[in-house]
Structure 1
Amino acid sequence: MEWFIAAVAVVALGVAAVVAAGGGGSMAKDPVRDTYAMTVSDEPLDAGAVRGLRFGVALRGYAMDQVDAVLDRLAAELEARDARVAELEAQLAGTGRSEVER
């Protein structure tokens, strides 16, 4: 009986060594995402869309790549809106209308 247990242990160690050496297959070529993959539409973000954002939680907090991507997009959209507001205010100032007349 002792020989049988020893033989089973040797076979188990051999199988473990073969699997550890890659004999059981190969790793996936594409990286595996282990965080929630958030999808954001390509439409301009409004207040409701921003309030509805949910980021994947990673080991050290939120998934930084997701947060960075959304913050970059928000910054670009805010810059575009600020430029448009400044353009409209310049047009309004050029027409001679005051704020009271609006």
Structure 2
Amino acid sequence: MLTLLLYVLIVGLVAAVLFLLASALFGRSEELGPLPEGTTATVLPVEGISGADVRSLRFQQVVRGYKAGEVDWALARLAARIDELQCQLAEARAAGAAQHAPEQS
């Protein structure tokens, strides 16, 4: 009788541990609707991205690291901003060079 009681107790304990583990991994089965295509929950300003904005970026973590779609989106936004700033810098340098170049007659 004691063996049967011990068996039931151990099975109950193992079941409770497995239930808690599954609950921690999979949540409470509350699913949010999917985000529209091409959007992300990660936030960056529409214009004028600063270093502080990049430093404050946080990505959603999934089982194997960060959510790839959010990271790709942030990198694409930052790459576009860097390209824009490089074009502005090149235009400013060209205007400065043209202004300081000696005029030839």
Q: Which TM bucket (shorter chain)?
A: 0.5 to 0.7
Q: Structure 2 length as normaliser, TM-score?
A: 0.55
Q: 1:21: which partner in 2?
A: none
Q: CA RMSD in A?
A: 2.3
1:9-24, aligned counterparts within 5 Å?
none
Q: Specify the alignment match of 2:58 in structure 1.
A: 54
Q: 1:74 aligns with which of 56, 72, 78?
A: 78
TM (norm. structure 1) is 0.57
Cα drift, residue 45 of structure 1: 1.0
Aligned length in residues: 66
* Structure with more helix by fraction: 2
The correspondence of residues 19-98 of structure 1 with structure 2, limited to 5 A, is 30-31=33-34, 37-96=41-100
Shift of 1:60: 1.1
CA distance in structure 2 between the aligned counterparts of 1:87 and 1:60, rounded to whole angstroms: 43
Secondary structure of residue in 2 paired with 1:70: helix
Could you list the runs of 5+ residues in structure 2 that have no partner in the other structure? 1-30, 36-40
Unaligned segments of structure 1, at least 5 residues: 1-27, 98-102
